[in-house]
């Protein structure tokens, strides 16, 4: 990868990282990461637990600062409260006794950071409806958050992130805890957003297989390093062996599913 001269961040670049290094409580999480994401790309962020996938999101959101290297989001330094980014954090189930309508949460996605005495206006309500519509969740609006299933919740969270018309979505493990059918439905909704709105999407996932058909790029975080490129380039035995520093085998089954063997602890191997 070559180093771009300053100022060459073209308008087509959503993210540019150069020799990025991050640490968490004095420990280096990963270092020397250089990658780019173009506008409108659908990117999966893959890697074992604790490899620093969420850390990458925290950097992009301006919640954490890199130790070294440079990072730009749409040509600018990351900053907290960037309205161009929508964020769906990794959430463990909402409590069953959260008696708040889903549409109220989506409302807050558009006006939750506004101060002053105003109430939720008509324009916000319409924006919330549009966002729910964009993820096929109009019917979920009046339901209370605690009564929604995992897949329904993820669609509501997606609407909450989408309501401010962001240019980039950071989705942290939206597919975990979903069964195969719901996973496929949600991937379709997300992929639809990429195609219809040109939103740049980074999605942290444990399992690459449900996504592989719609991905433009993979960012693979493991062993303190980051590799990126097309799925065909990154998800190979050679490339992952280099990344992990130990022999790793990438296997394909007859249906195109990928299994990565050797890179992770045995419990993770089957679903990597």
Partner 1 sequence: MTFSWNVVTDLRLLWQIGFMRNAFEAGTITAVVAGIMGYLVVLRRSAFATHALGHGGFSGAAGAVLFGVTPVYGLLVATMGGGVGMALLGRRASNRDIEIGTILAFMLGLGLVFLSLYNGYATEAYSILFGEILGISQAGVVLTLEAAAVVLAVLALIHRPLLFSSLDPDVAEAKGLPMMALGLIFMLLLAVAISFAVQIIGVLLIFALMVTPAASAVRLSKRPLFAVAISVVIALLATWVGLFMSWACSVPGSGCNAPYPASFFIVSIAFGTYVVVRLLDWAFGRWTHPSSAEVPNPPGPVREVPDSTADPR
Q: Is 201 within 8 Å of 169 (Cβ atoms)?
A: yes
User: Do the bridges between strand 68-73 and strand 13-24 make them parallel or antiparallel, or are there none, so unpaired?
Assistant: antiparallel
User: Measured between alpha carbons, how far is 235 from 219 in angstroms, rounded to an integer?
Assistant: 10
Nearer to partner 1, 225 or 264 (CB): 264
Minimal distance in Å, beta carbon 224 to partner 1? 25
Residues paired with 263 in a beta bridge: none
**CA–CA dist 208, 144 (Å, integer):** 31
Tell the smallest beta-carbon distance from residue 104 to partner 1 (Å): 5
What are the structure tokens assigned to 16, written together? 């540019």
Q: Which is nearer to partner 1, 211 or 225 (CB)?
A: 211
The least distance separating partner 1 from the CB of residue 215, rounded to whole angstroms, comes to 12
Judged by beta carbon, residue 4 or residue 192, the one nearer partner 1 is: 192
Query: How many angstroms separate the CA atoms of 151 and 22, rounded?
Result: 32
Q: Smallest distance from the beta carbon of 100 to partner 1, in angstroms?
A: 6
The strand pairing partners of 261, in sequence order, are 249
Q: Cα(165)–Cα(146) distance, rounded to whole angstroms?
A: 26
Distance separating alpha carbons of residues 77 and 248, to the nearest angstrom? 36
* 31 DSSP assignment: E
Angstrom distances, CA of residue 229 to CA of 132, 160, 167, 201: 32, 30, 21, 15
Scan for tokens 């929508």, then name that residue. Answer: 86
- Please report how close the Cβ of residue 263 comes to partner 1 at its closest, in angstroms: 17
Whole-number Å distance between alpha carbons of 131 and 205: 23
Between 65 and 114, name the residue whose CB sits nearer to partner 1: 114
- The least distance separating partner 1 from the CB of residue 1, rounded to whole angstroms, comes to 29
Applying CB under 8 A, the residues found at the interface with partner 1 are 61, 63, 79-82, 85, 87-89, 91-94, 96, 99-101, 104-105, 108-109, 111-120, 142-144, 146-150, 153, 160-161, 176-180, 183-184, 206-207, 209-210, 213, 253, 255-257, 270-271
Closest distance between partner 1 and the C-beta of residue 216, in Å?
17
Nearer to partner 1, 230 or 257 (CB): 257
Is the CB of 11 or the CB of 254 nearer to partner 1? 254
Which of 3/122 has CB closer to partner 1?
A: 122
């Amino acid at each position: 990868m070559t180093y771009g001269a300053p100022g060459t961040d073209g308008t087509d670049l959503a993210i540019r990282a150069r020799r990025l290094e991050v640490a968490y409580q004095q420990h280096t999480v990963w270092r020397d990461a250089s990658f780019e994401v173009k506008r409108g790309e659908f990117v999966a962020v893959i890697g074992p637990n604790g490899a620093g996938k969420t850390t990458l999101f925290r950097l992009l959101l301006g919640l954490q600062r890199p130790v070294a290297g440079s990072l730009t989001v749409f040509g600018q330094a990351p900053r907290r409260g960037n309205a161009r980014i929508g964020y769906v954090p990794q959430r463990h189930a909402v409590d069953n006794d959260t008696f708040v309508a889903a549409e109220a949460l989506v409302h807050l996605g558009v006006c939750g950071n506004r101060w002053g005495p105003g109430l939720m206006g008509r324009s916000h309500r319409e924006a919330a409806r549009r966002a729910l519509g964009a993820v096929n969740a109009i019917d979920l609006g009046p339901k209370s958050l605690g009564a929604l299933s995992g897949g329904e919740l993820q669609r509501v969270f997606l609407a909450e992130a989408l309501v401010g018309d962001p240019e980039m979505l950071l989705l942290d493990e939206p597919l975990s805890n979903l069964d195969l059918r719901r996973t496929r439905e949600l991937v379709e909704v997300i992929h639809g957003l990429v195609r219809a709105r040109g939103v740049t999407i980074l999605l942290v996932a444990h399992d690459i297989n449900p996504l592989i058909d719609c991905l433009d790029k993979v960012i693979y975080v493991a062993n303190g390093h980051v590799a990126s490129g097309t799925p065909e380039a990154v998800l190979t035995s050679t490339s992952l062996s280099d990344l992990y520093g130990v022999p790793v085998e990438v296997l394909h089954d007859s249906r195109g599913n990928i299994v990565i063997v050797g890179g992770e602890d045995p419990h993770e191997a089957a679903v990597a």
